[in-house]
Amino acid sequence: DIIRTIRDPEKPNTLEELEVVTESCVQVQGIGEDEYLVIIRFTPTVPHCSLATLIGLCLRIKLQRCLPFRHKLEIYISEGTHSTEEDINKQINDKERVAAAMENPNLCEIVEQCVTEPD
């Protein structure tokens, strides 16, 4: 429910409407007392999607802000659905790269537009 309303950076649709994320792409596993591993696998609309890293960043930021429990978060592009999936997976799961990206005011503004709930 948390990620279904994230908007695509280029289109007026949500990631759920575009089938970039679906309920079946989310796994939650208990890894300790009151701690969970959340794994998201998303599927870009095209294999060369230039905004796949940005979509992964939006997923991470929204979940970090909204999950009501302690968690470890792993976000991946669904295997075989993007031409540079390995590089993108490394980027969106690297805390330093995510922090650096969110220090960029332009990028931060785009992420905010994508993750903010519609009125």
pLDDT value of position 19: 95
The percentage of the chain sitting over the pLDDT mark of 90, rounded to a whole number, equals: 82
CATH code of the domain in which 75 resides: 3.30.300.130
Q: Specify if 66 maps to a domain.
A: yes
* Cα–Cα distance measured from residue 84 to residue 56, given in angstroms and rounded to the nearest whole number: 13
pLDDT of residue 57: 96
Is 85 inside any structural domain?
yes
Model confidence pLDDT, tens digit, residues 14-64? 999 999 999 999 999 999 888 999 999 999 999 998 999 999 999 999 999
**Range of 101's domain?**
23-112
Say yes or no to pLDDT of 119 above 80: no
In a domain, 49, yes or no: yes
Q: Is residue 53 part of a domain?
A: yes
pLDDT above 90 (res 13): yes
Provide the 3-class DSSP secondary structure of residue 23: helix
pTM exceeds cut of 0.85: yes
Q: How far apart are CA 13 and CA 60, in angstroms?
A: 19
Instruction: State the total domains in the chain.
Output: 1
Tokens coding 22: 């679906």
Instruction: Give a yes or no: residue 30 inside a domain.
Output: yes
